[in-house]
């Protein structure tokens, strides 16, 4: 069994009716965010690599056909069509890692109408989640002012695969690594992790636990100090380090972070341990990071978990996959608040003084100037060129974030002009 049944039923009912009524001409569907959430100034295009993998593998296996037959909804001819289905169309996309805005076509799929209609659910699912998480991660990166950021969200993700692709999205956006071992293996990302409270509690004392861990991992002794009494434990760590225990850092995972960070830093500094880092992993998101660093708190690194991996402040995007062209004719939805824009489109980006100034979307073939963002990724169901590696996408994202207008780099709401031509 493959992934083809990962779809909404109406994609299939529409496709059967299209075929019966000879509506099989060339169609273009566009995936875009109608508007950005109040908490977002921009998005990061992400998920294209996953989508390409799914499109290449998208087919209806015999077990899928038999299940659909059992529903008594589909004709034998349509089931034969599905049995032979392969994506043979074109895929246009704004590459991963690029900053994108409202009403810009992140993905455009072109092919026969039934062929591209069937793909709606899988296209939205691949791009929506990873773009959502990459945008959250990018805001966190901008708020962190260059501090180390680690994805700690796996256990609170919506199923393991969500955690894996969220870790990739975070790394693309600028995180330094993840606790997710499978994501590290799959995408060649740095992995981080040392101990939980259970490790400390197993030993007779915190000092014994720390000695044991440092013996096992002398190059990576990041010690968790809030199991019982944080400040008392910080003093224990100071004594151990002065006696020669190799201590890389201490982690705070509960309590009042501002007061504890200041007090722990003072204890460590008084012991001559200025090189020992403070790693915080409690209640961390872009808002707390921004507040803590603006207040001058001595925090060196952050483990970002629940708020990040669920995009808690903006848990979804108003993203849609809409028909924009059929048999060369424009198709426009005019519903209030849900207007679409016709034709296959290019996004042109304009710069001023080294930064982004505005974007324009135009019909492909009507480009005049500006940097074109949309690229042809697949033609006749095959890649036109190899996709970039994760590290290359990460550099692309860093470059785009550096070119954002200063107001868009802040957490406060700011609008970026997108002109629809």
The per-residue DSSP string of 278-318 comes to EEE-SS-SHHHHHHHHHTT----EEEE-HHHHTTTTS----
For residues 155 and 297, state if they share a domain.
yes
> In terms of domains, do 164 and 249 share one?
yes
Count helices and strands (H / E) in the chain. Answer: 15, 19
Asked which of 274, 309, 344 is the last residue of a domain, the reply is 309
H or E element that contains 399: helix 390-402
The residues near 246 (Cβ < 8 Å, ≥ 6 apart) are 214, 218, 219, 221
Residue 2 lies in a domain: no
256 and 163, same structural domain?
A: yes
Among 31, 44, 15, which residue's Cα sits nearest to residue 399?
A: 44
d(Cα 122, Cα 118) in Å, to the nearest integer?
9
Is residue 372 located within the same domain as residue 390? yes
Instruction: List per-residue pLDDT tens for the chain, 421 residues long.
Output: 589 999 999 999 999 999 999 999 999 999 999 999 999 999 999 999 999 999 999 999 999 999 999 999 999 999 999 999 999 999 999 999 999 999 999 999 999 999 999 999 999 999 999 999 999 999 999 999 999 999 999 999 988 899 999 999 999 999 999 999 999 999 999 999 999 999 999 999 999 999 999 999 999 999 999 999 999 999 999 999 999 999 999 999 999 999 999 999 999 999 999 999 999 999 999 999 999 999 999 999 999 999 999 999 999 999 999 999 999 999 988 888 777 889 999 999 999 998 999 999 999 999 889 999 999 999 999 999 999 999 999 999 999 999 999 999 999 999 999 999 9
Domain enclosing residue 48, as ranges: 9-133+317-420
Domain end call among 242, 275, 309: 309
Q: Structurally, how many domains does the chain consist of?
A: 2
Tell whether 126 and 168 lie within a shared domain. Answer: no
329: β partners: 326
Write down which residue in 309, 328, 355 finishes a domain: 309
Judge if 192 and 51 occupy the same domain: no
Residues 6+ apart with CB under 8 A from 28: 108, 109, 110, 116, 323, 324, 325, 326, 343, 344
What stretches of 145-277 show up as alpha helix (H) in DSSP?
160-173, 181-187, 197-202, 206-216, 230-242, 257-270
- Name the pTM for this structure: 0.95
């Amino acid at each position: 069994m493959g992934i083809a049944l990962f779809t909404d039923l109406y994609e299939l009912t529409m496709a059967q009716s299209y075929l019966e009524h000879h509506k099989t001409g060339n169609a273009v569907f566009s995936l875009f965010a109608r508007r950005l959430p109040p908490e977002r100034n921009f998005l990061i295009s992400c998920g294209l690599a996953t989508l390409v993998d799914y499109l290449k593998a998208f087919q209806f296996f015999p077990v899928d056909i038999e299940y659909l037959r059992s529903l008594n909804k589909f004709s034998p001819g349509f089931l034969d069509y599905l049995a032979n289905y392969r994506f043979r169309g074109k895929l246009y996309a704004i590459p991963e890692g690029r900053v994108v805005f409202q009403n810009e076509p992140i993905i455009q799929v072109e092919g026969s109408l039934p062929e591209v209609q069937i793909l709606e659910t899988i296209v939205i699912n691949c791009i929506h989640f990873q773009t959502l998480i990459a945008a959250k991660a990018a805001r966190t990166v901008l708020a962190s002012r260059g501090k180390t950021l680690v994805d700690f969200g796996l256990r609170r993700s919506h199923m393991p695969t969500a955690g894996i692709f969220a870790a990739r999205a975070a790394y693309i956006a600028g995180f330094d690594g993840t606790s997710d071992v499978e994501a590290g293996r799959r995408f060649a990302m740095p992995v981080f992790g040392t101990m939980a409270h259970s490790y400390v509690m197993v030993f007779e004392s915190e000092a014994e636990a720390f000695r044991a861990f440092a013996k096992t991992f002398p190059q990576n002794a990041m010690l968790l100090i809030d199991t019982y009494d944080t400040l008392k434990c910080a003093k224990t760590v100071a004594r151990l380090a002065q006696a020669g225990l190799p201590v890389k850092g201490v982690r705070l995972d509960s309590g009042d972070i501002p007061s504890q960070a200041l007090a722990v830093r003072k204890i460590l500094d008084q012991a001559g341990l200025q090189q020992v880092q403070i790693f915080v992993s409690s209640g961390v998101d872009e808002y707390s990071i921004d507040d803590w660093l603006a207040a001058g708190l001595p925090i060196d690194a952050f483990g970002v978990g629940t708020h990040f991996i669920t995009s808690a402040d903006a848990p979804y995007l108003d993203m849609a996959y809409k028909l924009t062209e059929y048999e060369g004719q424009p198709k426009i939805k005019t519903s209030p608040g849900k207007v679409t824009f016709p034709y296959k489109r290019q996004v042109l980006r304009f710069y001023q003084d080294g930064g982004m100034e505005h974007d324009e979307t135009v019909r492909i073939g009507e480009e005049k100037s500006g940097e074109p963002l949309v690229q042809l990724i697949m033609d006749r169901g095959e890649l036109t060129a190899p996709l970039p590696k994760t590290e290359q996408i990460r550099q692309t994202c860093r470059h785009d974030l550096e070119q954002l207008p200063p107001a868009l780099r802040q957490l406060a709401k700011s609008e970026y002009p997108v002109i629809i031509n």
